[in-house]
Amino acid sequence: MSSVTGRPAATPRDSNAAAGGPRIVSGWLARTLLGLTGLAGIVAIWWLAIHLIARPDSLAAQFSPGRALAALPSLVTEDRLLVHIATSLRRIAIGLAWALLIGVPLGFLIGRIKAFDTALSPTLQFLRMISPLSWMPIAVMSLGVGDRAVYFLLAFAAVWPLVMSTAAGVTQIDRRWLQLAESLAATRGEMLWHIFVPGLAAHVLTGVRLAIGILWIVLVPAEMLGVSSGLGYLILDTRDRLAYSELTAVILVIGALGFLLDYAARLIYRRCGYEQR
């Protein structure tokens, strides 16, 4: 129907769409404020605990949130915090790249070929249950002190969620799509690009998010293998200098960067058309 002025009358769908935007924004603001409130509460409990159990001139007082925040400027200017962050992120990117190059094809073969799955599953399950950090002495003796040992440990830690997510994605692809492609005489390349890649994308992205979380946890001890830069090295350096306020500040930076990496992975997931909380 048209209104008196001759313009089309607004439909219920149009009204709902117009109201959906403000609701989404208000919901995002509410979640953000609630999250910030929880974070502020944790910091308040942290400050109160230090204030109650430690004297102002004691060693424990150096771990207070106020002193950690006050130490951040000197970390940036004197200890080259940004350089250490860039070095750690570069190692994360290279370790993840190696894990993708190995994990996705291996997971595809395991999910696609039953005999391959049967033959490799016991070995892979055995290796997966070994902590990546237990390989540290072997990595140093085999690859030497430096970046190569760190890359090996990071790739070893990140490959397993990618293998399992990819294999699970292959098994969940609707077989009718494969039968349809075969009936249309699709080549292997066409099947790979038009069926497997879209069908596996969500599973691979989920594996990437899990891998980033594992990588970030393994990174700090891996960077204690004699390297001269990175956040793990900075933890050791501040400990050796007895700069405990700076050490606490580095811990806060590690937590903040890990949160941002996970948030970026979730954002990419949603931008690709998938929903994930």
Cα–Cα distance, 269 to 210 (Å, whole number): 12
Q: What is the mean pLDDT of residues 73-101?
A: 90
Residues 128, 67 within the same domain: yes
The gap between the terminal CA atoms of the chain, to the nearest Å, is 41
Number of domains in the chain: 2
pTM confidence score:
0.77
Share of the chain above pLDDT 70, in %: 79
Q: What is the mean pLDDT of residues 6-13?
A: 48
Domain holding 94, by residue range, is: 63-271
Residues 214, 193 within the same domain: yes
Residues 111, 215 within the same domain: yes
Residues 205, 242 within the same domain: yes
Per-residue pLDDT, 161: 92
pLDDT exceeds cutoff 50 at 18: no
pLDDT exceeds cutoff 90 at 100: yes
Residue-wise pLDDT for 169-181, tens only, equals 888 876 776 666 6
Cα–Cα distance, 60 to 193 (Å, whole number): 58
Is 175 inside any structural domain?
A: yes
Q: What is the mean pLDDT of residues 137-160?
A: 89
Please provide the average confidence, as pLDDT, over all residues in the chain: 80
Residues 32, 148 within the same domain: no
Q: Can you tell me whether residue 164 is helix, strand or coil?
A: helix
Is 206 inside any structural domain?
A: yes
Give the CATH number, domain containing residue 199: 1.10.3720.10
Is 4 inside any structural domain?
A: no
Per-residue pLDDT, 2: 44
pLDDT exceeds cutoff 70 at 114: yes
Where residue 4 falls among pLDDT bands split at 50, 70, 90? very low
pLDDT exceeds cutoff 90 at 13: no
Q: Is 168 left (phi over 0), alpha (psi -120 to 50) or beta?
A: alpha
Mean pLDDT lowest among 116-120, 129-133, 176-180, 249-253: 176-180
Is 3 inside any structural domain?
A: no
Residues 36, 71 within the same domain: no
Residues 244, 118 within the same domain: yes
Max alpha carbon distance in the chain (Å)? 84
Q: What is the mean pLDDT of residues 47-71?
A: 73
Per-residue pLDDT, 177: 67
Is the separation of the CB atoms in 151 and 168 below 8 Å? no
pLDDT exceeds cutoff 60 at 34: yes
Listed in sequence order, the residues at least 6 apart from 206 whose beta carbon sits closer than 8 Å to its beta carbon are 165, 269, 276
Residues 110, 234 within the same domain: yes
Residue-wise pLDDT for 207-257, tens only, equals 898 999 899 989 988 888 778 888 988 888 888 888 888 888 888 889 889
Is 69 inside any structural domain?
A: yes
> Higher pLDDT residue, 7 or 176?
176
Tracing tokens 């949603």 back to the chain, one arrives at 270
For 171, phi then psi, to 5°, come to -70, -20
Per-residue pLDDT, 7: 46
pLDDT exceeds cutoff 50 at 29: yes
Is 139 inside any structural domain?
A: yes
Residues 122, 170 within the same domain: yes
Helices (H), 54-80: 65-77
Nearest alpha carbon to residue 120 among 107, 129, 131, 130: 107
Axis-axis angle for helices 65-77, 81-112 (nearest 10): 100
Cα–Cα distance, 139 to 150 (Å, whole number): 8
Q: Kindly tell me the sign of the dihedral angle through the C-alpha atoms of 151, 153, 157, 159.
A: positive
Q: Running DSSP on this structure, what letter comes out for residue 193? A: I
Mean pLDDT lowest among 46-50, 118-122, 145-149: 46-50
> Higher pLDDT residue, 55 or 223?
223
Is 152 inside any structural domain?
A: yes
Q: What is the mean pLDDT of residues 158-179?
A: 83
Residues 80, 46 within the same domain: no
Is 7 inside any structural domain?
A: no
Q: What is the mean pLDDT of residues 10-30?
A: 58
Per-residue pLDDT, 151: 92
Residues 45, 96 within the same domain: no
Residues 121, 217 within the same domain: yes
